[in-house]
Structures are given as C-alpha cells and as structure tokens.
Amino acid sequence: MELLPDRQILFNRMRDTICGVYERFGFLPLDTPILEYSSVLLAKAGGETEKQIYRFTKGDTDMSLRFDLTVPLAKYVAKNYHTLAFPFRRYQIGKVYRGERPQKGRFREFYQCDIDVVGDGQLSVLTDAEMPAVIYTVFKELGFENFTVHIANRKIIKGYLQEAGLTDKTAEISVVLDKIKKIGAEKVAAELAVLGLSQAQIKPLLQLTALTGADFARFSCVDETFKTGVAELQTVIDGMKRFGVPEKNFTVDLSIVRGLDYYTGTVYETFLAGHENIGSVCSGGRYDNLAGYYTDKPLPGVGISIGLTRLFDKLGSETSAIARAAQVLVVSADGAIEACLPVAASFRAAGISASAYLEDAKLKNKFKYADRLGIPFMAIIGETERKNGTVTLKNLASGEQFEGITENQAAIKIKDAP
Amino acid sequence: MELLPDRQILFNRMRDTICGVYERFGFLPLDTPILEYSSVLLAKAGGETEKQIYRFTKGDTDMSLRFDLTVPLAKYVAKNYHTLAFPFRRYQIGKVYRGERPQKGRFREFYQCDIDVVGDGQLSVLTDAEMPAVIYTVFKELGFENFTVHIANRKIIKGYLQEAGLTDKTAEISVVLDKIKKIGAEKVAAELAVLGLSQAQIKPLLQLTALTGADFARFSCVDETFKTGVAELQTVIDGMKRFGVPEKNFTVDLSIVRGLDYYTGTVYETFLAGHENIGSVCSGGRYDNLAGYYTDKPLPGVGISIGLTRLFDKLGSETSAIARAAQVLVVSADGAIEACLPVAASFRAAGISASAYLEDAKLKNKFKYADRLGIPFMAIIGETERKNGTVTLKNLASGEQFEGITENQAAIKIKDAP
C-alpha cells in the first residue's frame, strides 16, 4: 500500500491515535528488527506460517522478514529478562510481512499495532480486563461509535469438551466452531458430524457457543477447567466495567474460539457494526507461556493486535480526521519571493506549520496549490506589506481577508481557527 | 539495534522531534514499501550499491529491501506525477537496509529521516536555502547547540575544473577532494599528483577548496558554470539568513564536494562540535533530475537526510529528554486490586498516562516497579480511600504525599508537576 499525501496524513493520524492511547495506558515502546536470522524467527513457526515467510540467504546468512510482532517480543523478553521490570507492558507498531498473493484488502507488507503485558511467572487476570478498555478507547478516539468487543475464555470450551469425553478432538472442534460467524450453526453442526460427533454431543456444544450475556455462568458443567474459565470470564467482565467500558461496547460470545493453539484463556475479537464482513478489527487473548522457545522462565501474557493497514484500507475514509499539509501557505504577491522566508520562519517559531511557496508563479497558481494541499490560510506579502512589515492573511474557506496585520496577529488568527 | 525501553523512549522522542519539525515546515508524509521488486529498486543502482542490497526471490518474484529513501521517492513521484501538487514537499522516516558487515556504529537496518522538495521542470534556488533552516531547527530542538552546516555548490568546482582544462577528470578529482577533512590537504595534494595534476594545477585547486566565509565570491575564474555556482551560493546564504539561521551555525566550505555524481548544485554536510569524528550527521544537496529512470519529465529537487540510528547510537545520551513509562502508577495498598481500575481510567480520561499495577505484591515491590520505570507519581488506594472515594498521591522524587484528595485534585497535581 502506497498512499497519496492526503490519505497518508489520515493514515498517520490513525497510527498516532492508536500510539497515543497505548502510551496513555502506560505501555512502553519497542522496535525490533524487520530483518532477522531465520533461526530466531522460525523457532516456533511451522506449516502454513512457514510457507508465508519471506526467507532468503545473504552470503552464508539465512535471514527472514518478521511475520508478526509476537515472536520478536518473545525473543526480546527472553534476552532482556534480567533487565526488564515485570509486568512488562510493551506496545509495538510496525510492519510485518507475509508472502500471500496480494488481493484486494490483503497486503504483503502491512502494519500491526500490538500491545502485550507479560508477567514473570504470574499475571493477574485483571490484566485481561484492561485489553478491552484499551480497545474501547482506541476505537472511540478513532471516531467509531458502534463497535463491540466479543469476549470468551477458551477454558470454558476446553473444560466442556473434557467433560464430554472429546479432549482428543479439541483442536479440530475448535477450528470448526471458529467458523460459526462465517458459515452459521447449521453448517458447523454438519462439519462436527463429519468429525464423528453425535447429535447428542453437537446440540449442547452449539447451545454453549450460542450463550451471550451472563447466561454462561448458569450452563451446567462440573469440569474444573470449565469452572475456572467461567470464574475468569466473570472477573474480566467485572474488571472491564470498572475500567469504564460501556456495556453496549462488549459482549460475551462463546463462539469466539480462535484457531490458534497459542491462546489458553481469555480471547477477544472486535467487530464494527455494519462492517462485520471485514471480520475482527482487533483480536487477541491470554497465553500461558510467551517465550518457551527462548527461555525456561514461565512468562504468561495477554495481548491484542490491530491490523492497521487493513483497517485503514477498509475504513480510513470513515474517520473524522482532516488532511492538510500545513496551516498556512506564505506567498509573495510579486517577484520578491525572498520576503516570504522570514514570515514563514516567524510562523514556525510560533508553532504553526507553514509552507513557503518559493516558485515564480502567478498568484492564481499559488491559490490553486494551497487548495490542492488543503491548506486553510494564505499569508500574502506584497510591496505594502514589505514596506510596513505586515502581512495580508486570507482564510481560504471563508474568503475573509485581513490586511495590514502583524505576523503575531496573523499567528493568533491561524491558531484560533477551528 | 534493539533498545531497552528507556532508550527506546528517547529514540522515539528524537524521531518525533524530527518529524514535528518536518511537518512544521509543511512537508507531507510518505511511506513506501520496504520490500520492492528488484526491477524498481535497482533501475539506477550499480557497483558498490548493488553489492550491498538485500535481494532474494520468492517464488518467481525478484525482490529487494530498499537501501535508501530517494529511489522510492523517484518512483513515487513519477507514478503519481499527474496527481501531486508541485513543488512536492515530502518527508519520510523509515528503515533502510544495507548488507554491510555490522560493526560498531554501523547497522544493517537503520532509520533515515529524509526531506526533499521536487519541482516540476524548475525549482527556485531559494528552496536550497530552506534545507539549512530545517537542519538548524531540528538540531536545535534535539538539544544540540554547537553544530555547523557546511555548504558548497558543486558548480564552483566543476566550473573551475572546466577552466583549468580538467573536465575529463572531474569525477576522480571530486572523490579525492572529498577526503580533505579526513586525510588533510597534504595527502590530498599527493593523491591529485597521482591523478596526473601538476603542482600549478593542484595549488589553486586547494586554495579554492580552502575558502570560507564570503571569499569564494572573489576567487578569480571566468567560467560560466563557476559564476552560476557562486551566484547560487550567494542566494542560498542570503536566503538562510532570512530564514533565521544564525551565522554561527553555518559556513561556506568548498571542500564539501560529496562523492555522489547525483548532486549538481548546492551540497550540505552538518558537523557537531566535539563529534567531528563521526562525520556528517545530516547531508544532502540539489539534483537536476530525480526520476530520469522512471519518467521523461525533468524533476529537479533538493533534499537532506539524517541517519537517525547512527545519530542516536552516538549521541542519544546527549539529548535532554527524560524517559518515563507513564506519569502515574496506580496501586492498591492491600489485596483489593480491582479498586485501581476506575482510578486509572479516570486519570487517562484526564489525558494523563497511567499504568495500573494489577499484581498481588508487597507495596515495597510496587514502589520498586515505579522507580525502575521512571514513573514520577504513585496513586495509592487503600481501605480509607475506597470508603471516601479519594486517593493518596505520592511524588516519588520529592517524597511529598497528599492524602485524602479527589481524583481531580490528584490529576491537577500530576499535570502541574515540572
């Protein structure tokens, strides 16, 4: 994805908003290499993931491009274990690479915006309640109103399958259950039947995954893992409310299973009303052990990820941000272009973003330039202004014009503009 | 380079400072792919550059990692020529890749921070005066005081060599002259002699490159290119002054030749007093034609580049920025950890970055955590605070403690702290 300037400004604004929220929640920045030794990146990968990775040799060195921000985090935490303060709260916004065939809405090179909290041996389940609070704040500040964080806990399904004697099929069943939103309960039932489940096994399973609200706590199951899952989910929901997440912006949804074996407790997906077709715009969950491939230390964690490139591609035009190149364009009314330089410098010293138009062109073309770049003000310097040390300031939207004012007065008018 | 959190915060602050100045000068953001078709990136490259490039195949596709931000700019401007408003002012801050053997202070993956102004067929030489104004503002805001932008114009040397009948040796002579700062005039004279220059040719050449201040305008040479170079340099110096660059922060220095054939007029290098050994920290210049490999349109431009990774590695600790993870750590005085959640949410709603400590730990460990992360305030919630809806706020630097204050009062104290 390569954007034109006005779209790039909007993209950066979305990125900066996400970054700002992450920092407000006390997450620390991390930047890891995009290019890494394959032995580091691929320690854990296999199957489909490995096929998608960009891997190559340079001289004798086997290198790969990172395909997510979690593996680099695992390596980083393991390497710096003795230096970091735990719980380690980090955010990372950066590009990742997957060798998919590019298609509309899928990119080979795309931005992910991740946060994770990693504990040293233990991590309070209240941390799981903080993730939806971050998601809520991010999407709210991006200008979205109608979005819902769907929450489940994998221990609930896992415990139920244990009780039902289906433990050995947990992985396959999870993959099928994860499709409910896409293909519906009926087709899922058919696929479960193919896996060898009886109707007596399928029916309660679909009842369980269809539970919303507080009903999950009343589902009958005596398995200990199930009970732990229910208790954790209740703690998370209570914590989210305390963090100020409105009830309309989250829901318990036990159909959220997520295919990854990786997650062991709370899982999240986020859907935007009217855009359910693009899938989850922010997902994540709790994992028991982040860095088993790099260290013997048990490092439980919880995290979420926003696929920014895809989100922007689909919804960038729905945000309320305005793209403009600068607040003011400084131009000369005649050929004495150098007179623009100190005026532009003076605006910048006042904290105003100012572009100086230094080409010898007709005034009409200077207006056109400001218009194309979405610059709201133009400061015009002609003979009178040079003689008196003043500027003429024009509000290009309203057409209002102020003649013979000082640079300071102009700066105040620019700053006060909505 | 992979940094620990406190260093990463400083790095990001440097990057954000540079970005902020670029935006204040009205430059538009651009983000181009790191991974590109080799046919695009290598159109122009050859020799040493090509050897340093990370290049590989994925399936049938020949891909490379970008090695600078100029080639992607050229491709972008050519591709979007009919959509962009000229002069096109863009900045780009991103990673580039070179397969050098890593050594101290040189990285395979590093950040460059570039600005360029690209004209459509023409570009005022006053634009060349704006670059030093940007450099000055950047380094000033990064906290450096003693730095000097060295400026020359390649037309001066080129014109002189024409007059001296040495045109066919321009490239080799330029490479040798460019070493004056490193090896001194004596060794340069010896190398020029090896190139076949007589002492009568070497002496005035070294006199010319030794000129500083306004003396260059009095050097005797009737060549037209020489005269154009002198006139341009005078315009640039006059323009810089108008842009507010103090005389102590720039100097004419005709020994700045820069090896690259690429530059055709003004050239810049920037040195930090006391750190001349690390070489130029910001370089660039004027080029006649940016995108000759991608379009027939003549696109002159001028730009500069800051090697941020290297600058930070060498001088990151000399900036005055403070690294802290959050403004306040919210903790419970006892086991009722969930009481921290609404307090943290309330601080964040007030625009304060707040981290909540959610683990069950001794109060002593919570203090230690805040200390390790450089968090200046701690908000403590115990039984009394829960009952009264108040907080106890402690300034960890001064030890000052405020008991029984409201969240709003605490927020004000945190915001008012220096």
pLDDT of residue A325: 84
**What average pLDDT does the segment B362-381 reach?**
94
- Which residues in chain B are closer than 8 Å to A26, comparing Cβ atoms? 325-326, 329, 353-356, 375
Which 3 state secondary structure label does DSSP give A265? coil
Q: Does A321 score more than 70 pLDDT? A: no
A-chain residue closest to B134, CA distance: A345
ipTM of the complex: 0.90
| Model confidence band, residue B173 (pLDDT cutoffs 50, 70, 90) | very high
Give the mean pLDDT of chain A.
91
Q: Does B320 score more than 60 pLDDT? A: no
Cα angle A402, B88, A367; round to 5: 25
B54, B242, B348 ranked by CB distance to A25: nearest:
B348
CB contact under 8 A, A359 and B3: no
Residues A106-150: pLDDT tens digits?
678 999 999 999 999 999 999 999 999 999 999 999 989 899 999
- Rounded to the nearest angstrom, the minimum Cα separation between B174 and chain A is 31
pLDDT of residue B40: 84
Q: Does A320 score more than 60 pLDDT? A: no
| Model confidence band, residue B105 (pLDDT cutoffs 50, 70, 90) | low
| Residues 6+ away with beta carbon under 8 Å from A186 | none
For residue A180, what are its two tokens?
């409910």
Within the 10-49 window of chain B, which residues sit less than 8 Å (CB to CB) from chain A? 11-12, 23-26, 28-35
CB contact under 8 A, B97 and A359: no
Buried residues in B251-289 as b, exposed as e (16+ CB within 10 A): bbbbbbbbeeebbbbbbbbbbbeebeeebbbbbbbbbee
- Which residues in chain A are closer than 8 Å to B375, comparing Cβ atoms? 26
For residue B128, what are its two tokens?
């060349």
Q: Among residues of chain B, what percentage have pLDDT more than 70?
A: 95
The reply to whether the predicted model has a pTM over 0.80 is: yes
A33, A238, A341 ranked by CB distance to B239: nearest:
A341
Asked whether the beta carbons of A340 and A353 are under 8 A apart, the reply is no
A4, A25, A137 ranked by CB distance to B80: nearest:
A4
- Which residues in chain B are closer than 8 Å to A12, comparing Cβ atoms? 29
pLDDT of residue B47: 62
pLDDT of residue A48: 65
Q: How many whole angstroms separate alpha carbon A98 and alpha carbon B35?
A: 11
pLDDT of residue B322: 65
**What average pLDDT does the segment B339-344 reach?**
94
CB contact under 8 A, A23 and B353: yes
Residues A35-91: pLDDT tens digits?
998 888 887 655 666 778 888 887 788 889 999 999 999 999 999 999 999 999 999
Which residue's structure tokens are 């040796």? B169
Buried residues in A92-122 as b, exposed as e (16+ CB within 10 A): bbbbbbbbeeeeeeebbbbbbbbbbbbbbee
- Which residues in chain A are closer than 8 Å to B369, comparing Cβ atoms? 85
pLDDT of residue A128: 97
Q: Does B45 score more than 60 pLDDT? A: no
Within the 133-152 window of chain A, which residues sit less than 8 Å (CB to CB) from chain B? 133, 137
| A262-266, B53-57, B225-229: range with highest mean pLDDT | B225-229
pLDDT of residue A355: 93
CB contact under 8 A, B137 and A28: no
A12, A35, A375 ranked by CB distance to B109: nearest:
A35
- Which residues in chain B are closer than 8 Å to A35, comparing Cβ atoms? 54, 65, 97, 108-109
Residues B275-304: pLDDT tens digits?
888 889 999 999 998 888 889 999 999 999
| Model confidence band, residue B201 (pLDDT cutoffs 50, 70, 90) | very high
Residues A272-307: pLDDT tens digits?
998 888 889 999 999 998 888 889 999 999 999 999
pLDDT of residue A146: 92
CB contact under 8 A, B87 and A352: no
Alpha-carbon Rg of chain A, whole angstroms? 27
CB contact under 8 A, A31 and B2: yes
| Residues 6+ away with beta carbon under 8 Å from A315 | A144, A272, A275, A278, A281
pLDDT of residue B321: 61
Q: How many CB pairs under 8 A join A and B?
A: 200
